[in-house]
Amino acid sequence: MQNFTFHNPTRIIFGEGQIAALDSELPHDARVLITSGGSSIKRNGVLEQVQTALGERASFVFSGIEPNPTYETLMQAVELAREKNIDFLLAVGGGSVIDGTKFIAAALKFDGEPWDILAKQAEVNDAMPFGSVLTLPATGSEMNNGSVISYRAKGDKLPFRSDATYPRFSILDPTTTYSLPPRQIANGVVDAFVHIVEQYLTYPVDAKVQDRLAEGLLITLTEVGPQALAEPHNYGVRANLMWTATLALNGLIGAGVPQDWATHMLGHEITALHGLDHAQTLAVVLPAMLTVRREQKRAKLLQYAERVWNLMEGSEDERITAAITATREFFERMTVPTHLRDYEIGGDSIETLIAKLKEHGMTALGEHGDVTPEVSRQVYQLAV
Ligand code: NZQ
Ligand code: ZN
């Protein structure tokens, strides 16, 4: 096992009816900016529950944070927060709203041009305190310090992270997910699945607990993912899905093990160029990525085949191929197509995608740093 430091300061408040706990989580004199996406939290009553829980506190709403949140929109929220003398941010929504709120929190305390936090990876030493009410199990943003922000005008989508951008708390009420359209549930399952794979499917370092936790989470997703589509109001299914997605990317399974993340970086460029949902890009890239890098990942692919997919028959190569096929079929079963052509994208944009990867310094990706632009090109070609 590799050396590691693990610290996660986010308090999780889990279960039906827990939005009421906001009252005890926020200072009584807080001036709160509720940040949100489109209209989903109005339609499903979550905003009303939040406002009731906030009681007499001064609160304002900034809505309009879009999926794949943009710098352009978020800077408007920064302006509003300054104008209203806000001292606490409350993200109510999915990963985009929480990621966007992390950027707003950091930008409010940042000296200089906030886009440098993404473009130049400028250090973020301070951020306004914020909490979240999660409505979409997928990204893990509710219990991590990462954020991915797009700059529409530049066609960029870039990540940042900082110790200052962990949510103070996150409220996870599975009933808030009942109103999710099937496409977002499917996206969430695929995103969480790929988060686990990025931290698990690398090379063995004798990290038995991390491996078995990762395998348990993957198997849980194969079970509850299809159920979540079939039974939208099944509390148990939604509760298990929600907690799995959080544990998939809260630092626990990634501590002391090598990590990959090449699939995510290639996926971000597809979203920036073609506008695909984040999870759609992962469903397209991952099977191709595993195929191209099957030799480097051989030992873990065999373990994955056996422990997650129960594949014990045939030669090593047959088991690896079967595991990659099982992964693709799982995404398809979740109704997320796994080829670029399914989204009407051909091979003509590959050179643009490669140029963007180079521009963003994504030229030595993966757990060995050996995913060069040439390897990425092969992955994109295979993904068509
Ligand atoms: O905008 P509203 O009206 O709220 O609708 C949203 C949005 O259209 C809707 N939605 C959310 N909760 C709902 C609901 N609709 C009905 N009922 C509910 N309860 O769902 C749509 C998608 O929301 P979004 O927040 O974009 O989805 P997701 O949570 O999948 O977040 C994706 C973003 O997170 C980033 C992605 O790159 C992408 O920008 N990621 C963040 C990570 C992190 N911080 O650690 C890691 C991930 O790898 C990922 O990159
Ligand atoms: Zn993701």
Report helix, strand or coil for 259. Answer: coil
Which residue type occupies 357?
L
Span 237-248, pLDDT tens digits: 999 999 999 999
Question: Of 102, 107, 65, whose CA–CA distance to 82 is shortest?
Answer: 107
Span 159-207, pLDDT tens digits: 999 999 999 999 999 999 999 999 999 999 999 999 999 999 999 999 9
Pocket test for ligand 1, best of 139, 150, 162, 171 (most atoms within 8 A of CB): 139
What are the structural domain ranges in the chain? 11-176, 181-383
Q: Please give the torsion angle defined by the CA atoms of residues 139, 141, 146 and 148, in that order, rounded to the nearest 10 degrees.
A: 60
Backbone angles phi, psi at 11, to 5 degrees: -85, 130
**Owner of token pair 């129960």:** 310
Question: Of 224, 174, 237, whose CA–CA distance to 44 is shortest?
Answer: 174
C-alpha 148 to ligand 2 mean position (Å): 9
What average pLDDT score do residues 248-261 get? 98
User: Looking at the CA of 96, which ligand is closest?
Assistant: 1
Question: Of 80, 77, 108, whose CA–CA distance to 93 is shortest?
Answer: 77
Topology adopted by domain 181-383: Dehydroquinate synthase-like, alpha domain (1.20.1090)
Span 342-377, pLDDT tens digits: 999 999 999 999 999 999 999 999 999 999 999 999
**Quick count: other Cβ atoms within 10 Å of Cβ 335?**
16
The HSE-up count of residue 135 (CA atoms within 13 Å, CB side) is 28
Q: What is the pLDDT of residue 80?
A: 98
Q: In whole numbers, what is the pLDDT of the chain averaged over residues?
A: 98
C-alpha 266 to ligand 2 mean position (Å): 11
Residues 6+ apart with CB under 8 A from 98: 91, 132, 134, 139, 141, 142, 147, 167
Q: What is the pLDDT of residue 200?
A: 98
Confidence bin at 88 (pLDDT 50/70/90):
very high
Cβ–ligand 1 distance for 184 under 6 Å, the answer yes
Pocket test for ligand 1, best of 39, 44, 73, 148 (most atoms within 8 A of CB): 148
Span 130-139, pLDDT tens digits: 999 999 999 9
What average pLDDT score do residues 232-255 get? 98
C-alpha 277 to ligand 2 mean position (Å): 10
pTM: 0.98
Span 285-314, pLDDT tens digits: 999 999 999 999 999 999 999 999 999 999
Confidence bin at 83 (pLDDT 50/70/90):
very high
Pocket test for ligand 1, best of 62, 68, 96, 101 (most atoms within 8 A of CB): 96
User: Looking at the CA of 68, which ligand is closest?
Assistant: 1
Span 7-45, pLDDT tens digits: 999 999 999 999 999 999 999 999 999 999 999 999 999
**% of the chain exceeding 90 in pLDDT:** 100
Classify domain 11-176 by CATH number: 3.40.50.1970
